[in-house]
Structure 1
Amino acid sequence: MTQVEGMPREFYFSRVAYTGYGRGFYSRGSSWSTDYPKADQIFLSFIDRLLSNLDAYEREHPVQLIDPEIRRFPYLYALEVGRMALTQPEIEGLHDYLMAGGFLVIDDFWGSREWANFEYQMQLVLPGYPIVDLPLEH
């Protein structure tokens, strides 16, 4: 999944393609693929217009947590993580990525049940590192 065309770029908007258990009764596919690839393409068009001096990869870019090349992409975007069900290799891949300084943005989950699942998954990834609220002045 991490194959990219041409020369390496400064920035890749890399969406995490993780193991999950679907998007609910009325949906098909994995949670990670919600609005994919259209949302990524729209976001990248804004990046291109607003940050014209940034050499950004202009296409959608899904990455698997088990990919040995994942550290090439310091910014990861994951959404619908309330239905995430990481495999052991994915847990290890995300752990190593984050401990090496990788940056993970989490987006879009609903209610206490999905939060509890996300918190559980992150405890598997980073045992001993609880999720904490940051004050606004942080």
Structure 2
Amino acid sequence: MSILSKTFLFFVIMLACSMVSAQQFAVLKYDGGGDWYSNPTAVPNLIEYCNDVLETSIQTQVDIVTPQSAQIFQYPFIHMTGHGNVVFDDQQIENLRKYLLSGGFLHIDDNYGMKPFLEKELVRLFPDLPLQELPASHPIFNSYKNFPQGLPKIHEHDGKRPQALGIFKDNRLLLLFTFESDLGDGWESPEVHNDPPEVRRKALDMGANIVKYVFTN
């Protein structure tokens, strides 16, 4: 191999490494009055956990993005949570759809009370792609740690079973909606909810499953 070829290969490798190390997550700030800012320590804690157990190189700083922003395309993984109303206007719907179809991923974790509002917006987002429950056999439940029963229960609300619901396009998971589980509460710092260590670990392990699945599929 010539010196020129070796030099070119070196810069290609360095560029690839810089792109991997530059990966960053974001939290979605949406309209409608829902508290999008819930669980402020959740995603940073999940990132630190993934960097530890999965040996990822995700930046611990988490940005805030809006659905209509051009910056949304910079993030491979966007998290959304809250307790109440969710509203997207037509521009936001179009931008979110483009983001998801171009390779982005949105994880929506119901912190309690989002579901009836969110479902209406998801129908607008993908009218031809139904929200469907992921079976316990889906690989997202064992990509890092095995959850043979599917999505774990972290916090009780209405006593309903936890569900992982997804929207797929050409067998790719574009969007994951976790309901009646409250993963984000489990990702929060220990003093926030005073969850036992085993409960937090369960939530973080499932979060690591999601991250690993998204980055390897």
TM-score of the aligned structures, taking structure 2 as reference length: 0.49
Equivalents in 1 of 2:54, 2:135: separation in Å? 29
Higher helix content, 1 or 2: 2
Equivalent residue runs for 1:109-128 within 5 Å: 109-110=111-112, 114-128=114-128
Corresponding position of 1:34? 38
What fraction of aligned residue pairs are identical, expressed as a percent?
Answer: 25
Counterpart in the other structure of 1:133:
133
Contiguous gaps of at least 5 residues in structure 1: 1-6, 23-30
Structure with more of its chain in strand, by fraction: 2
Matches within 5 A, 1:1-138: 9-22=21-34, 31-36=35-40, 38-52=41-55, 54-80=56-82, 82-110=84-112, 114-138=114-138
Say what the alpha-carbon RMSD is for the aligned residues: 2.2
Q: Deviations over 1:68-111 (max 9, x none)?
A: 13222111111127421112221111111112121111102435
* CA spacing shift, 1:51–1:132, aligned 2, 3 Å: closer
User: Looking at both structures, which has the greater relative contact order when contacts are Cα pairs under 8 Å and sequence separation is at least 6?
Assistant: 1
Structure 1 residues 72 and 57, CA gap change in structure 2 (3 angstroms): same
Q: Which runs of 5+ in 2 are unaligned?
A: 1-17, 139-217
Question: Please, what TM-score do these two structures have when normalized by structure 1?
Answer: 0.72
Is the Cα contact below 8 Å between 1:81 and 1:106 reproduced in 2?
no
Name the CA shift for 1:51/1:10 in 2 (closer, same or farther; >3 Å).
farther
- The total of aligned residue pairs comes to 120
Higher Rg of the two aligned structures: 2
Residues 110/39 of structure 1: CA separation in 2 closer, same or farther (3 Å cut): closer
